Structure 1
Amino acid sequence: MSNRKTVSLNGDWKFIKDDVSGAEAADFDAAAWRTVKVPHDWSVEESFSNDWEGATGYLPGGIGWYRKTFQSLETAVTYLHFDGVYNHATVYLNGEKLGDHPYGYSPFYYDISDQVISGENVIAVRVDHSRYCDSRWYTGSGIYRSVELVGTSETHIPVWGTFITTPEISDKKASVNVQIEISSPKDAEVSTTIIDPDGKTVAQGSVAAEALTIQTFEVSSPRKWDVDTPNRYKAICSVFKAGKMVDEYETVFGIRSIRFDADEGFFLNGKNMKIKGVCLHHDGGCVGAAVPKDVWRRRFATLKAGGCNAIRIAHNPGSDEFLDLCDEMGLLVQDEFFDEWDHPKDKRLNQNEQHDDYISRGYTEHFQEWAEKDLKAVMRAHRNHPSIFQWSIGNEIEWTYPRNAEATGFFDMGWEGNYFWEQPPNSIEEIKRLLKELPREEYDIGETAQRLAKWTREMDTSRPVIANCILPSASYESGYADALDIIGFSYRRVIYDYGHENYPKLPLMGTENLGQWHEWKAIEERDFVSGTFLWTGIDYMGEVNGQWPKNTLDSGLLDRAGFEKGSYHMMKTLWCNEPHVHLTSQTLEKSPYVFDASTGFIGEADSNAWKTKTWIWHDVNTHWNYADGEMIAVEVYSNCPSVELFLNGESLGRKKLSDFEDHIYKWAVPYKPGKLEARADGASDLLQTAGVPASIQLCADGMHVIAQLVDAAGIPVKTEERKIFFAVEGGTLIGVDNGSPFNIQDYQSDCIITAQGRCLLIAEGACRVEASAEGLGPVFIEVG
């Protein structure tokens, strides 16, 4: 049996949001501090206030201290591992400083073998997020990812000490290359066993240990990791000394091949497929940045049901738990390292890089010293995840190097146009000339990109290096694109052909695009475009400067509570083959349409308007409650070739999808109460007129409880709101939300006013949830 012990340190931390002098001391008395569990985000516990910054969602940062006692593992070697602390963490053990860690998104650990004492020990962590506007989106504050203690023998595999690749794969066999780091390897032996998804041993071998031990295995009839069949294997590496096992290290991996072709796009396991991806920030709505695994599970399941097969973690590395879930559920992942390089971004005004006050100083001030360490730590921690298929070295970096922006010609005083829809105004020759003539700054974007790409390839060559380029016409010529294996376009789908024709050897794809039909149409029509990541999969807090009380950017396919939006159903009709029908309504006045009663035409006055739709989906309802006779714009999102609309059983006509260039079925319908139904071959959807709220309907999904107002017939009421009061017995209420981007009610509350007649509660542990409102309820549901 191995001497290795891994212990979670997530429970029973003492916490105070204050900068307390002497709190690092081993004998400091923290009894009066609050007891919390980590992952923990203190910002999300606060009330929203216009006194804070819209960039980070109108929630505060500050300084906080954490303390925890633990018993020593009584092993020769002990590691203390943090998956993420936001940010500027200073860690102490028994009063002795272990180190500082400024970046909030990279994991880190300390070898505490020389500091740990037998018996009781004390960890103290100071978290300085006083620069609370140091990002362009909500970050959270605190020890917001897991912490663990690892103890083992002097001869052992260190934290992140294995790297498994599958360089050759066929249907008959796969080669599995296992690299194992060994500390104090003298006279030791390593034995590795490969376990298949059913738990059966499929390969095994032993070799003498070296500082870097390499073993190669052959697996017959490999069961490949795929988005539809995410098969996972295990490599169990056992270290022996004098015939006794002294350490054992388990690594989960997948057998899969990835390839990007400049002409044909992306191939997974030799099969050509489009990347149907979304960008996600790391907050989980009412739980903030400390997101329970089940919250991501519910969100991922909904996205996958809508055809999504990939996630870009924007604009920072994700948690290990996040990646475990992507491995398990079959979601490809682009892991992105940085949003800032040599120069800062303006956290309040994108592209205008003007503000650099104390609260908005971000990673740039640490980049020169920490970039290589953080990048390589992320890769060592994450590189065995089969879900990761791209390493992104940066996001929209070009704005921060003025010479590159100027060379494009887009923003010259005399240029008139729209960046999203226009071809580059400057020719390639002109861009080259300007890049030569314009003054260079201390740091050059191409040289920095080359450094980052070099460090990435030092760690892993099995995955391509990519970046999200906002100014690709300059990046092709600045040396930036030369550092990449794939170039990603940010909102530049109109120059896919430009990129392919002028730089035909470099694969390209959309890495940040709009959740609109025109974006997917451009990709669908071009084999050489590998796919896209839409901005965004889910609404996220922040990036709403000066828009109080709006605290969330509502660009998602799902809202902040994980409820589906109109754009979700549009993308589902584009990304899924199964018949799908989604019915919506809106008053003609509030819709984007005009109606001609003489011809029956309903549509946009500008027939080309759909080609330039941007982030926010137009306002649609999923109810049938209006004023008698009011003209209603009815929309149906469907992939079916024809749809027939019925009102109270009477047909209002069958229409063909081919007649709608914008891919949206439309009818103009004078309102009558009753049932509105859209029917197609294999799918249908129904809206019904609801009465007054008569009850609360509860539905449980994992740790989530959805409360919906319903009338006496059980029809959802979506046009009236109530304050719902919750009581949780046997578990812990950890957050409430209604999904509205304008919701500024406290998340840490036992009541909330609904939006569209519904709200969400998230509870931890097996419990009984009671919901009531004035004149309604109570009703109950069991959770967990």
Structure 2
Amino acid sequence: MSARTLFTDGWTFRRTDNDTSASVRLPHDAMILETRTADAETGNHGGYFPGGSYVYARSWTAPADATQRTYSLFFEGVYGDTRVLVNGREVARCNSGYREFTAPLTGVAPGETALIDVLVDNTRVPNSRWYSGSGIYRPVWLESAGPVRIAPDGVHVVTRSISGDATVDVTIRVEGELPSGATASAEFSYDGERVVREHAATATGGVFSIPVTIPTPRLWSADSPHLYEVRASIAVDGDPVDQEQLRTGLRTVTVDARRGLRINGATELLRGACVHHDSGILGAATFAASESRRARILKAAGYNAIRSSHNPLSRAFLDACDEIGLYVMDELTDVWLKHKTHHDTADQFADVWPADAAAMIQKDRNRPSVIMYSIGNEIAETATQDGIDAAHAIHRYFAQNDPTRPTTLAVNLLLNLMSSRGSSPFEREQYLGEKKEAKDKKEATSTAANMLTAKLGRVMELAARLPAADKASRGAFGTVDVAGYNYAYGRYAADRKRYPNRVIVGSESMPGDLPAIWKRVTTVPGVIGDFMWTGWDYLGESGIGTWSYGSEPGSINKPYPALTAGPGAFDITGLPGAPALLAQAVWGTATTPGIAVRPLGTSGQRANRTPWRTSDAVPSWSWRALAGQAQIEVYSADDEVEVLLNDRSLGRKKAGERVGFVTRFRTQYEPGELVAIGYRDGAETGRSTLRSAGTPTLRLRPETTALQGPDDLAHVWIELADENGTVDMSTNDTVTVTVDGAGTLAALGTGAAATTESFTDDQHSTHRGRALAIVRGSDQRGFVTITATSARHGSATIILSPADTEHEGVPA
């Protein structure tokens, strides 16, 4: 039988220019360990982190059956140009940071111990428009197989019909020479009980095809994410040879211009969040626990769809989307033929995209959550024939290899307009670091558009309405199934009339535009939803969505020590801001009004706003050390809202769509209780409350009480809060964290937009009364003691239990 086991422990890590190695357990981000500086070559793109070159090493002893079985390593992702060596001999290489790949462990005799070196070169930066990380940032697996095996990801399940009983096609691709008498079977179970098992006696070209009928199917959708366990097996003369198990959902996906997007025949509108791949204070390191947490928080906030930006999602994130019910637009790449940063993959695009696409399809095709492929983001050269030809080729590849899902292409119409004219408002050297003679044509880039937008506000959306923008984009839109519009919602109604067969999705939009966008989504046929930039904040592209104040730099390219991008409805630690409340009000998913308050520490200062964030307000009324006029924002779909401060009415005002779903109040700040009440048709619909904190002390609040081994994480909030748990936003301190027992401190930090502190230290300043500690489990079974000590607010200790004692409580 084939086997796959985690191969994440026992590694050492060092910089290429340093002979000193440290023990690490994968996944691991080398870039987050580096020292940020104002002159780091990644600049604003990468959050002012430097690149680097690294060596990961591990020994491996070949088992006694190494002559009868093949062994290999499966890498889910390594960022940087990568070479894998076995005893100094190169066995694999990969030059694409988001592509999965396999390295064969050949030439090692049974019982022999071999040295595996993974050389990662990420020195040529910037090669991305956001924080990329470096090194083996996703899990690695040891795979073994016999001479006849089911190919890796070689089982494909396709739902053909859900009318009455479900009809499903299962194909099983086999590697190796099939002997006579070989058969295959596919077994479906639900909640541990077998539903059906079917067999196939013959294979064509090494592929078994098995039609399966599933009675009374439980269908998968975002609202009802039912999953089946599938066991695919091959046998010879009745003796098992190999098997593979997976989980999948039964569902159909169709799109057309009249009925839009339909899942299982029912129309769906996508309430979408764009997300980048980094894990916040963990850097790029991908853990199932952090990916699941992010998905759960976004789902609870009313999102039902994720757009991966701008590269394929991790398997762990897709697992979470399958499990809890989130639709996914998985995206291939940000770069095609033209550079966006100096060292990106444009020069090798023609060589790498087929392998990247193949790996993405192989990873995604059994995922019920993945309903659409995006073949690229803001590819301005699609205004030219070369770009259109490339779009045709990539779409055809996806359609041929997975015809069950539509394709889209996220087009920024302003960029295409500029590209069609061979010009840009900025010199190339400003974003590529190259010097060109004035006579050279300037290429349009996403970075250039961001700079222009910061100065001219709505220029992208207004420019997108021009006839020339339509002309520059219609060729690209004609290559895919769904037209992806970035920042161009003003075109929806007119383009649906002009192109009656076009299906439209808002693939990227300003959070503050959601009221206008959603009105079009719900009224213009063939518009299937919208994706906010962004649902979750990210590292790099520092300051694009961060407000500054007074004389602070106001550009969207904030100088060092700016770190985070800033446009997230949730910050990098998972705390919500005003955009999350706005989305819930617009979508009607909130049951009570949402209250947010602009930070009192900035009261009276001129705000240098950015289009990617329409409000800097946060849901808190706890500013004990501050005074001044408070600016209150209430987000609601009700007819009216009223605000009470300490039982005193601040007024009752219009709410809902008439005022863009946000109602504003001003008052002098005073501690106490702030209440927002919603009214519809004169009757109260619900109320929300914010309270001020009493005297704050340091408190620990874990999101979980147990750790389930070395790959699990516990997110522990360090809060300066009163006895009721209310955090004071104006109180800060320096905290030191120690972890004892069966765990280690994986990261410590906050969602602050700018900082000189590192997430890898055991000491960090709080931001608005909070910090987040992330603790990783270990191989040892036992309790984990977490202690936080502050300079001025005392200390606190909590104990996490092993997973199997969670319900037994923890020792005092």
Sort the TM-score into its range (normalised by shorter chain): 0.7 to 0.9
TM superposition score normalised by structure 2: 0.82
Hey, what's the Cα distance between the residues in 2 that align with 1:574 and 1:188?
60
Displacement of 1:366: 1.7
Hey, what's the Cα distance between the residues in 2 that align with 1:589 and 1:147?
46
- The alignment status of 1:368 with 2:329, answered yes or no, reads no
Instruction: Pick the aligned partner of 2:31 from 43, 58, 63.
Output: 43
Displacement of 1:562: 1.0
Instruction: Give a deviation string over 1:323-371, Cα, whole Å, max 9, x none.
Output: 11111111111111111112211x3xxxxxxxxxxxx311112212221
1:617 maps to what in 2?
Answer: 614
SS at 1:124 equivalent: strand
Displacement of 1:242: 3.5
1:71 maps to what in 2?
Answer: 61
1:269 maps to what in 2?
Answer: 264
2:730 maps to what in 1?
Answer: 719
Hey, what's the Cα distance between the residues in 1 that align with 2:784 and 2:387?
54
Instruction: Pick the aligned partner of 1:507 from 503, 506, 512.
Output: 503
1:104 maps to what in 2?
Answer: 97
Contact kept? 2:698, 2:718, Cα under 8 Å: no
1:423 maps to what in 2?
Answer: none
Displacement of 1:649: 1.7
Hey, what's the Cα distance between the residues in 2 that align with 1:236 and 1:146?
23
Hey, what's the Cα distance between the residues in 1 that align with 2:605 and 2:23?
55
Hey, what's the Cα distance between the residues in 2 that align with 1:340 and 1:253?
31
SS at 1:208 equivalent: coil
Aligned pairs for 1:650-689 within 5 A? 650-658=648-656, 660-680=658-678, 681=684, 683-689=686-692
Contact kept? 1:466, 1:488, Cα under 8 Å: yes
Aligned pairs for 1:209-224 within 5 A? 209-210=203-204, 211-224=206-219
Displacement of 1:698: 2.9
Displacement of 1:461: 0.1
Displacement of 1:584: 2.4
SS at 1:56 equivalent: coil
Instruction: Give a deviation string over 1:564-622, Cα, whole Å, max 9, x none.
Output: 1111111122234341222223489967999xxxxxxxxx9xxxxxxx98311322242
1:534 maps to what in 2?
Answer: 532
1:57 maps to what in 2?
Answer: 47
- The alignment status of 1:453 with 2:395, answered yes or no, reads yes
Q: 1:546 to 1:676 in 2, by over 3 A?
A: closer
Question: What amino acid is the match of 2:506?
Answer: G
Instruction: Pick the aligned partner of 1:391 from 361, 373, 384.
Output: 373
Instruction: Pick the aligned partner of 1:693 from 691, 696, 717.
Output: 696
Question: What amino acid is the match of 2:150?
Answer: I
Q: 1:682 to 1:238 in 2, by over 3 A?
A: same
Q: 1:117 to 1:64 in 2, by over 3 A?
A: farther
Contact kept? 2:624, 2:730, Cα under 8 Å: no
Where does structure 2 lack aligned partners over 5 or more consecutive residues? 417-468, 543-556, 679-683, 705-712, 778-782, 802-812
Contact kept? 2:637, 2:656, Cα under 8 Å: no
Moved more, 364-373 or 204-213: 204-213
Question: What amino acid is the match of 1:551?
Answer: L
Q: 1:591 to 1:665 in 2, by over 3 A?
A: farther
Contact kept? 1:738, 1:755, Cα under 8 Å: yes
Q: 1:70 to 1:661 in 2, by over 3 A?
A: same
Displacement of 1:286: 0.9
Instruction: Pick the aligned partner of 1:758 from 762, 767, 770.
Output: 770
SS at 2:210 equivalent: strand
Hey, what's the Cα distance between the residues in 1 that align with 2:7 and 2:349?
30
SS at 1:295 equivalent: helix
Q: 1:37 to 1:658 in 2, by over 3 A?
A: closer
Hey, what's the Cα distance between the residues in 1 that align with 2:604 and 2:288?
39
1:195 maps to what in 2?
Answer: 188
SS at 1:328 equivalent: helix
Hey, what's the Cα distance between the residues in 2 that align with 1:692 and 1:323?
43
Contact kept? 1:82, 1:108, Cα under 8 Å: yes
Aligned pairs for 1:282-361 within 5 A? 282-345=277-340, 347=341, 360-361=342-343
Aligned pairs for 1:576-595 within 5 A? 576-586=588-598
Q: 1:631 to 1:84 in 2, by over 3 A?
A: closer
- The alignment status of 1:147 with 2:140, answered yes or no, reads yes
CA RMSD in angstroms, aligned pairs only: 2.6
Contact kept? 2:786, 2:799, Cα under 8 Å: yes
Instruction: Give a deviation string over 1:177-211, Cα, whole Å, max 9, x none.
Output: 11111121232523323323312222222223441
Q: 1:114 to 1:498 in 2, by over 3 A?
A: farther
2:792 maps to what in 1?
Answer: 775
Hey, what's the Cα distance between the residues in 1 that align with 2:95 and 2:477?
29
Instruction: Give a deviation string over 1:401-432, Cα, whole Å, max 9, x none.
Output: 6xx3xxxxxxxxxxxxxxxxxxxxxxxxxxxx
Displacement of 1:546: 4.8
SS at 1:60 equivalent: coil
Hey, what's the Cα distance between the residues in 2 that align with 1:614 and 1:775?
38
Hey, what's the Cα distance between the residues in 2 that align with 1:750 and 1:468?
41
Percent identity, aligned pairs only, is 29
Contact kept? 1:188, 1:209, Cα under 8 Å: no
Q: 1:167 to 1:147 in 2, by over 3 A?
A: same
Hey, what's the Cα distance between the residues in 1 that align with 2:242 and 2:788?
51
Displacement of 1:221: 0.8
Question: What amino acid is the match of 2:573?
Answer: A
Hey, what's the Cα distance between the residues in 1 that align with 2:282 and 2:504?
36
Hey, what's the Cα distance between the residues in 2 that align with 1:251 and 1:713?
45
Instruction: Give a deviation string over 1:627-678, Cα, whole Å, max 9, x none.
Output: 9994432221123333322122223333342585221122222333322222
Question: What amino acid is the match of 2:186?
Answer: T
1:748 maps to what in 2?
Answer: 760
Hey, what's the Cα distance between the residues in 2 that align with 1:330 and 1:5?
29
Hey, what's the Cα distance between the residues in 1 that align with 2:524 and 2:630?
37
Question: What amino acid is the match of 1:779?
Answer: A
Hey, what's the Cα distance between the residues in 2 that align with 1:696 and 1:18?
41
Contact kept? 1:175, 1:217, Cα under 8 Å: yes
- The alignment status of 1:92 with 2:85, answered yes or no, reads yes
Question: What amino acid is the match of 1:639?
Answer: A
Q: 1:671 to 1:237 in 2, by over 3 A?
A: closer
SS at 2:255 equivalent: strand
Contact kept? 2:600, 2:627, Cα under 8 Å: no
Hey, what's the Cα distance between the residues in 2 that align with 1:323 and 1:477?
31
Displacement of 1:452: 0.6
Aligned pairs for 1:463-612 within 5 A? 463-471=405-413, 473-474=469-470, 479-516=475-512, 517-544=515-542, 545-586=557-598
Hey, what's the Cα distance between the residues in 2 that align with 1:527 and 1:708?
47
Where does structure 1 lack aligned partners over 5 or more consecutive residues? 21-29, 348-359, 405-434, 595-603, 605-611
SS at 1:369 equivalent: helix
Displacement of 1:296: 1.8
1:351 maps to what in 2?
Answer: none
SS at 1:311 equivalent: strand
Q: 1:654 to 1:280 in 2, by over 3 A?
A: same
Contact kept? 2:9, 2:26, Cα under 8 Å: yes
Hey, what's the Cα distance between the residues in 2 that align with 1:10 and 1:188?
39
